[in-house]
Amino acid sequence: MTPELANPSGYAEVIGDPIDQSLSPIIHGFWLDQLGIAARYQRLQLGRAGLPDYLASRRSDPDWRGANVTMPLKLDAVALADEATDRAIAAGAANVLMIRDERLVAANTDVGAIALLLGRLGEAGSSLASIILLGNGGAARAALVALKLLGLSQVRIQARDLATAMKLSVEFGLDVAPAPLTAPIVSDGLINATPLGMAGRDCLNCDLSQMGKGGFVFDMVTSATDTPLIAAARERGLAVVTGIDMLVEQAASSFKLFFGIDAPRDRDPELWQKLRS
């Protein structure tokens, strides 16, 4: 489904609300500059009510290469697309929208990024035996698909909406019943798929004292500095995966879909310096 790079003056973007904090324009802009591609990548604040009109306008724009989708639009993106990839269907959520053969396609590059990063944790010696997943939205569903791909079912969802969490537990064949969001963290691994820990939102699950030393914390909150949860994990001596780790991995797959060429990952050290500055 990768397009030929026939229109270097095209553009892609990231949409959602809030959006000012998004680092995606820095990542894609860096890669475009490194490859000498005269395309652009921008951000657009967009809520759920405005998504249908936005898609109607982009469908007819020949310069539009697609969009990354953030909260609160990931579930709507699947519903409004003409078709969806297997991973977007499995997650019930999409973080990519694009035109293919005059049809609007929803895709999910979050799933692959999460699976890749969890696999690296396992290879590095972190225990994946038991995992707590915070949240039950689009990001959590992507994590559940990735966990299923890796054959991991000793997963407990902790969320405010226990009814939805129970439905997800049954849908994904989890072996552990869900619990309230603020229940103690007692597991080998913790995945935060909520906005908690973003600027202005308290971290409700930063007590990691009951986690084993060989465990890990995977915080999907994107921040140029350590989130409170990541800071607590480092203090505990746990392995960590940050929101930026995930953002860069999913962005690399999105970049190929948008611009038809591999991201220059050999320049990662320079990119990380930009993201942390």
Q: Out of 74, 148, 213, 256, which one is annotated catalytic?
A: 74
- Looking up tokens 């026939």, which residue turns up? 6
Q: How far apart are CA 112 and CA 207, in angstroms?
A: 29
Strands of the sheet with 179-180, listed across from one edge: 179-180, 155-159, 131-134, 189-192, 216-219, 239-241
| Spatial contact of 277 and 33, defined as CB atoms under 8 Å apart | no
CA atoms within 13 A on the CB side of 205: 29
| Spatial contact of 128 and 187, defined as CB atoms under 8 Å apart | no
End-to-end Cα distance, the chain: 35
Q: How far apart are CA 155 and CA 53, in angstroms?
A: 38
213 is annotated as an active-site residue: no
Strand 96-100 with 103-107, pairing? antiparallel
Residues annotated as part of the active site? 74
